[in-house]
Amino acid sequence: MSGRPQTDPVLEVDGLSLRLRGSTNPADLVQSVSFDVGKGECLALIGESGCGKTLTSLSILGLLPSAVSAISGSIKLNGADLLRKGERELGRIRGKQIGAIFQDPMSCLDPTMRIGDQIAESRRIYLGESRRVARGHAVDLLDRVGIPRAKERLDAFPFQLSGGMQQRVMIAAAVACEPALLLADEPTTALDVTVQQGILDLLRSLQAELGLSVLLVTHDLGVVADFSDRVAVMYAGQIVERGRTAELLDHQPSHPYTRALLASVTQTGKAHTLLPTIPGRVPSATEMPTGCRFQARCAHASPDVCGEPQAEVSLGPGRACRCVRVTDIEELRMSR
């Protein structure tokens, strides 16, 4: 696994800032976010709820809430800037070039529409196939994602399937046109552990088979460790740390937020121990500080340097941390 894609990125987000319409707060909801995803690679975007992960993913799909707008930056898919596309153009890109999987399949699948028609719909719209041909491909897709008796299930409604099968149907619909990018927003959170593993195995096999580039949006560090190549840690609308998954999760992370996040994960085999927590909460849209956004919750905060905007500090190839005290904190840790 490399620190960065070896080929031109399929997805390249550069300096993306999102702001509430009418807001004069200079600290944007999402501020100067940059990352890329190479062909066949999985990048995980992680962080607590409210950190801006879903807003970032919705901006890629062109589905931002009406109260939020992109004020700067670019989102390029195979070199084409999506922020410069009109709604009609974005509508042709969604489903064909970008597939999306969301947390709750029942809220995304049409309960009144047979699953075969839901999967076939994108092939009919984007590839111009007839209903018969598209439904034939739907059978193949259901079989590919592990739905037993695929041809019989074609005319089932979503409520007739289990949660795990509904998620597999959503995956089949997402990859129906063999998109360049698959955006997976909390794809396993609503599922039990055994079903989660089956979904991850399915995504991994589809990624290898189709050469999919995957942006995984999640707060589940177990899924990140099992599935992603690289990680970008997001806090209060900023990327605060980035690096290869093995380096960032298996070795000591650098940013105080990333360390606190990993420390709060339940450790197996350690009975009767208190689970560490991060004090405070993610600042709201109207409370974003202009300096380090984590300073109010950070044990290492220093007002004289943390009150100023934080630039990324390079930690080596593919590694960076948005903390000007990163060297001081590491020296302090090593001296203990």
Helices 131-144 & 163-174 angle (0-180, nearest 10): 120
Closest to 151 (Cα-Cα) out of 166, 164, 163, 136: 136
Residue 244 has pLDDT above 70, yes or no: yes
Residue 7: per-residue pLDDT = 63
Residue 31: other Cβ atoms inside 10 A: 23
Domain definitions of the chain by residue range: 11-97+179-252
Is CATH 3.40.50.300 correct for 11-97+179-252?
yes
Residue 317 tokens read as 């190839």
Name which of 15-29, 113-127, 257-271 the model is least confident about: 257-271
How many Å apart are CA 76 and CA 82, to the nearest integer? 6
- Which residues, 6+ apart, have CB-to-CB distance to 305 below 8 Å? 324, 325
Tens digits of residue pLDDT in 154-190 = 999 999 998 889 989 999 999 999 999 999 998 887 6
Name which of 3-7, 80-84, 123-127 the model is least confident about: 3-7
Residue 273 has pLDDT above 70, yes or no: no
Rounded to whole angstroms, the maximal C-alpha distance in the chain is: 69
How many Å apart are CA 105 and CA 165, to the nearest integer? 9
Tens digits of residue pLDDT in 190-239 = 677 777 888 888 888 989 988 999 999 998 888 898 899 999 999 999 99
Residue 325 has pLDDT above 80, yes or no: yes
**Residue 213 half-sphere exposure toward CB, CA atoms < 13 A:** 18
Between 24 and 80, the more confident residue is 80
Tens digits of residue pLDDT in 37-82 = 999 999 999 998 889 999 999 999 999 999 899 999 999 999 999 9
pTM above 0.85, yes or no: yes
Q: Answer positive or negative: Cα dihedral of 51, 77, 104, 18.
A: positive
> At 5, is the pLDDT very low, low, confident or very high (cuts 50, 70, 90)?
very low
- What is the pLDDT averaged over residues 294-317? 88
How many Å apart are CA 153 and CA 147, to the nearest integer? 8
Residue 62: per-residue pLDDT = 93
- What is the pLDDT averaged over residues 299-326? 88
Here the contacts of 278-287 (C-beta below 8 Å, separation 24 or greater) are 278/48, 281/50, 282/48, 282/49, 282/50, 282/51, 282/235, 282/236, 283/236, 285/20, 285/23, 285/25, 285/29, 286/25
